[in-house]
Structures are given as C-alpha cells and as structure tokens.
C-alpha cells in the first residue's frame, strides 16, 4: 500500500525511454507533479542539458524548487502556455516533450483539495489553487442545462440530467459546498452503478476536468508541441481516460498522415505533402506488476510520435 500523498509515477521508464534523451538536449515535462519523470530525465541529461517543467499546482512548483538543480527551469502555468514560456526563455526548439495528463496522487489524496469523495472537504478541485473559480462557486450559478452538459460531456454519465437536477434542487437548501454533500446528492440520483465504482465517480471526474479545462488545454498544446520539436524530437503523452486518449490518438494519427487533397488532383504520390509526425510503436500500457502496486495506473496509455523534417 502506498503512503498517503505519495506519488507513484506511471510508466516511468517507458515514457523516459521513449524520449531518447540526448545528454545535451532540451526537454519539456508538461506536468511536473512530484517530479518522477523529471528526475528520470535529469539523470540522463549531462551538465549542458536542460529541462523545462510546467505545473499549475503551487505545491508541485515548490517540490521542484526544492531539488535545486540548475538544469531545471520551473514554470508555474498550464502546459498550454508552452509557446509563450519558451519564447520568454529564449528557446526556439526542444528535443522532446512529455505530457503526463490528469490529476496527481497528492492532489487526490489531499482532502483539502476537494478532488475526491473519499474526504469531506470544500468543493474546490482546482489544480492551481492560486487562481480561478472553484467547483462550488460554479455550481452556485450554473443552470441545470449547463451542469447536465458538463456531466455528460466530461463524465460520460448517462444519468447526467438526473444528477444536475438533484444538484439544482439541493441548492434551494443552501450551497453545495463540500465533496461530501455532492457525493451524497449524486449517490441518490444515479440509479445504477458499475461494479466496484462509486456512483459519484463520473460526476467528480467531469467537474474536475471542466473546472481545469483539461481537454481544452490538451487540444491547444498538441500542435504547439509539434511546432516546437526539432527534427527527430519525440512527443510522449500518457492519458488516463478515454476522453484524453481519444484526443491524443486522433491528433497523432492525423499528423502522421499526408494531408487529404481533392479527389482526382493530378499529383504523383512522391510529390504529396509529407506529414509532420511519424508514429513510434504501438500504444503502451502498464504491465500487471505495475498495476498491482499502483491501481491508478490501470487505465494509463502511452502514445509516442517523432517529428519529421517537414517544416511546420
């Protein structure tokens, strides 16, 4: 059993191996977390190497600062700010980008963050606790239709409307302000559940993804990663649920194919525009041994692609 707030990095060696680290290269860790992947990258970098790590969580940034490694530059921001951050740092291109998506174990296991129904805590769910609206604040003003849309789109919950209506009804007796309140409301509204899964799981996932704009952040950053990679640079992305993985899979697939041209266009196959990415291997998943010591790894999927020499 892992200690509370301990973070077990998923697909650690597989992801770092996929980057094919060069000792003097420049790499980006889009989600520092507690530094598992970053530390493994730093171990392979030489004195001239450089790692730029992003994280929205002030606690993660503090953990990175405690390392005191001059090769590590920390950026307190979502990874969608990659373009602006690299410009400010005077970095034109990088040799690899790693994105470990979703929420970290310390965020889930810290009851005060309001990420989990395992604790009765303020309904926050922000990855960056220094800015933005909490879930409780949003729920206080959102309409039933808005809540339904979020639960359906981000949680894939078939009882989305019933949950949204129950939340709206509960507001008449006061704000839905804690994780315990929300979990109890959802538990009554969801008529059936998957075996072994709490009925509030999908709703909590939906609100967390929505309030942090996780899918929008991912959609924005992927084209930037490709544009910023050097030729033969690697993009490695670890997803934890189907919504994320669908975005990554489609993006890498589309970027690894030649553009679709009008039918019957008189052009030779050799003259077709070439894609900007080439796929590297098949999607990788944690083995049974890793899942046995870290149950949260069971849904992880790692996809890797390499930058071709085609100009952006």
For residue 91, what pLDDT is reported? 98
Domain end position, chosen among 159, 187, 211: 211
Asked whether residue 100 is marked as a ligand-binding residue, the answer is: yes
Residue 158 lies in a domain: yes
Asked whether residue 55 is marked as a ligand-binding residue, the answer is: yes
DSSP character at residue 113 = G
Give the CATH number for residue 94. 3.40.50.150
Judgement on whether residues 32 and 102 belong to the same structural domain of the protein = yes
Q: Give which of 131, 137, 107, 135 is closest to 119, Cα–Cα.
A: 107
Mean pLDDT for the chain?
90
Judgement on whether residues 100 and 182 belong to the same structural domain of the protein = no
Judgement on whether residues 257 and 282 belong to the same structural domain of the protein = yes
Judgement on whether residues 101 and 20 belong to the same structural domain of the protein = yes
Judgement on whether residues 94 and 34 belong to the same structural domain of the protein = yes
Spatial neighbors of 284 by CB under 8 A, at least 6 apart, are 11, 14, 301, 302, 303, 304
Judgement on whether residues 168 and 45 belong to the same structural domain of the protein = no
- Characterise 110 by phi-psi region: left (phi > 0), alpha (psi -120 to 50), beta (else): beta
pLDDT score of 5 more than 60: no
- The stretch 42-69 carries a mean pLDDT of 95
Task: Give 273's pLDDT tier (boundaries 50, 70, 90).
Answer: confident
Residue 147 lies in a domain: yes
pLDDT score of 265 more than 90: no
Judgement on whether residues 61 and 193 belong to the same structural domain of the protein = no
Task: Give 7's pLDDT tier (boundaries 50, 70, 90).
Answer: low
CA distance 275 to 93: 18
Task: Give 271's pLDDT tier (boundaries 50, 70, 90).
Answer: low
For residue 114, what pLDDT is reported? 75
For residue 1, what pLDDT is reported? 33
- The stretch 55-62 carries a mean pLDDT of 92
Domains: count for the chain: 2
Judgement on whether residues 102 and 169 belong to the same structural domain of the protein = no
Task: Give 262's pLDDT tier (boundaries 50, 70, 90).
Answer: low
Residue 116 lies in a domain: no
- The stretch 245-269 carries a mean pLDDT of 82
pLDDT score of 260 more than 90: no
Give the CATH number for residue 156. 1.10.150.170
Token pair, residue 66, equals 């405690």
- The stretch 273-292 carries a mean pLDDT of 92
Phi then psi for residue 98, to 5 deg, are: -120, 125
Residue 277 lies in a domain: yes
Residue 65 lies in a domain: yes
Element (H, E) at 185: helix 179-189
CA distance 157 to 176: 20
Residue 146 lies in a domain: yes
Angle ∠(125,217,307) on CA atoms, nearest 5: 140
Asked whether residue 37 is marked as a ligand-binding residue, the answer is: yes
Judgement on whether residues 42 and 180 belong to the same structural domain of the protein = no
pLDDT digits (tens, 9 = 90+) for 25-39: 999 999 998 889 999
For residue 193, what pLDDT is reported? 77
- The stretch 211-230 carries a mean pLDDT of 97
CA distance 161 to 245: 25
Phi then psi for residue 266, to 5 deg, are: -75, 85
Judgement on whether residues 60 and 133 belong to the same structural domain of the protein = no
Judgement on whether residues 232 and 194 belong to the same structural domain of the protein = no
Contacts 24+ apart (CB under 8 A), 103-108: 103/127, 103/208, 104/7, 104/31, 104/33, 104/34, 104/57, 104/60, 105/2, 105/5, 105/6, 105/7, 105/8, 105/296, 106/5, 106/6, 106/7, 106/33, 106/34, 106/59, 107/57
Asked whether residue 87 is marked as a ligand-binding residue, the answer is: no
- The stretch 116-131 carries a mean pLDDT of 89
For residue 116, what pLDDT is reported? 81
**Residue range of the domain that includes 157:** 129-211
Residue 117 lies in a domain: no
Dihedral sign, Cα of residue 221, residue 222, residue 228, residue 234: positive
Q: Which residue has the higher pLDDT, 103 or 248?
A: 248
Domain end position, chosen among 171, 192, 211: 211
Buried b (16+ CB within 10 A) or exposed e, 179-204: bebbbbbbbebbeeeeeeebbbbbbb
For residue 270, what pLDDT is reported? 59
pLDDT score of 23 more than 90: yes
Asked whether residue 204 is marked as a ligand-binding residue, the answer is: no
pLDDT score of 4 more than 60: no
- The stretch 194-218 carries a mean pLDDT of 92
Domain end position, chosen among 211, 235, 255: 211
Judgement on whether residues 221 and 206 belong to the same structural domain of the protein = no
Residue 265 lies in a domain: yes
């Amino acid at each position: 059993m892992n200690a509370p707030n301990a973070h077990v990095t998923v697909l650690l060696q597989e992801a770092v191996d996929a980057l094919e680290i060069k000792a003097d290269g420049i790499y980006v860790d889009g989600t520092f977390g507690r530094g598992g992947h970053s530390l493994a990258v730093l171990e392979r970098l030489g004195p001239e190497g450089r790692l730029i790590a992003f994280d929205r969580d002030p606690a993660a940034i503090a953990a990175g600062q405690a390392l005191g490694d001059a090769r590590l530059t920390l950026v307190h921001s979502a990874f969608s700010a990659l373009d602006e951050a690299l410009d400010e740092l005077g970095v034109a291109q990088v040799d690899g980008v790693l994105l470990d998506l979703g929420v970290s174990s310390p965020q889930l296991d810290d009851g005060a963050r309001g990420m989990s129904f395992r604790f009765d805590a303020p309904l926050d769910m922000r990855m960056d606790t220094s800015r933005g609206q909490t879930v409780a604040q949003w729920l206080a003003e959102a309409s039933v239709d808005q809540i339904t849309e979020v639960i359906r789109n981000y949680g894939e919950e078939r009882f989305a409307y019933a949950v949204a209506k129950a939340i709206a009804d509960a507001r008449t007796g006061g704000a839905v302000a804690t994780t315990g309140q929300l979990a109890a409301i959802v538990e009554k509204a969801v008529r059936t559940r998957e075996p072994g899964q709490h009925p509030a799981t999908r709703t909590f996932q939906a609100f967390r993804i929505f309030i942090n704009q996780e899918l929008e952040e991912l959609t924005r950053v992927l084209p930037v990663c490709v544009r910023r990679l050097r030729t033969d640079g690697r993009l490695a992305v670890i997803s934890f649920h189907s919504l994320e993985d669908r975005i990554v899979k489609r993006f890498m697939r589309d970027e690894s194919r030649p553009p679709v041209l009008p039918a019957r266009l008189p052009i030779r196959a050799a003259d077709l525009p070439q894609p900007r990415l080439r796929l590297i291997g098949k999607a990788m998943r944690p083995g049974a041994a890793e899942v046995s010591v870290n149950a949260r790894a069971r849904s992880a999927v790692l996809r890797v692609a390499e930058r071709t020499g085609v100009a952006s």
